[in-house]
């Protein structure tokens, strides 16, 4: 018996959160991977920029490591040097390994959803995503995504908006 990716625990977690927000869109299972923004855009037949990359970083200071989530348009890259300043933190920004990402978020790289993250995480969203009526985010699995408007995503994640977090590729 083949189990649909929609029945997997982390995907169901995202679905439940969408339902809690009375979100009109459901999680969509794709035939091919959405592990990268380019893959997701091809699978959905949408512009790469409308894909939300959920990227995890750690701001390391002398006394503390602060995990950060950035939600960046698929046709941009995260301006990691500005993360501490945007969030009024001191330290150097580093990219964690896959195991650390899983420990921080509960999700594996390629399926990290902006929904269902631990409450204590700082989330920053790229305002360039506003140029799209609908943006697409991972939903807990490399073959599952959900669509939302920019404002819906901000509302559901509680993300801080920034026009500095992303730069052109």
Q: Percent of the chain, pLDDT > 90?
A: 86
Q: Is 164 helix (H, G, I), strand (E, B) or coil?
A: coil
pLDDT tens digits, residue range 70-129? 999 999 999 999 999 999 999 999 999 999 999 999 999 999 999 999 998 999 999 999
Q: Are 65 and 58 in contact (CB under 8 A)?
A: yes
The answer, yes or no, to whether residue 1 has pLDDT greater than 70, is: no
The contacts of residue 122 (CB under 8 Å, 6+ apart) are 66, 67, 68, 69, 87, 160
Q: Is 129 helix (H, G, I), strand (E, B) or coil?
A: helix
- Quick one: pLDDT at residue 41? 96
Highest-pLDDT range among 3-17, 26-40, 145-159 = 145-159
- Quick one: pLDDT at residue 169? 81
Strand ranges inside 118-163, DSSP E: 122-126, 135-141, 144-148, 160-162
Delineate the domains of the chain, giving CATH numbers in brackets: 5-168 (3.90.960.10)
Q: Is 96 helix (H, G, I), strand (E, B) or coil?
A: coil
């Amino acid at each position: 018996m083949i189990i649909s990716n929609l029945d997997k625990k982390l995907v169901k977690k995202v679905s439940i959160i969408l339902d809690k927000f009375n979100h009109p869109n459901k999680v969509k299972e794709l035939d091919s991977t959405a592990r990268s923004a380019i893959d997701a855009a091809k699978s959905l037949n949408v512009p790469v920029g409308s894909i939300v990359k959920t990227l995890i970083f750690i701001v390391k200071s002398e006394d503390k490591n602060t995990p950060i989530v950035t939600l960046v348009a698929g046709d941009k890259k995260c301006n990691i040097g500005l993360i501490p300043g945007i969030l009024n933190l001191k330290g150097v920004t580093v990219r964690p390994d896959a195991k650390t990402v899983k420990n921080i978020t509960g999700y594996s790289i390629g399926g990290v959803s902006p929904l269902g993250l631990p409450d204590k995480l700082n989330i920053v969203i790229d305002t360039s995503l506003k140029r799209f009526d609908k943006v697409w985010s991972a939903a807990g699995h490399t073959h599952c995504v959900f669509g939302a408007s920019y404002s819906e995503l901000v509302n559901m994640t509680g993300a801080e908006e920034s026009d500095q977090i992303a730069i052109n590729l």
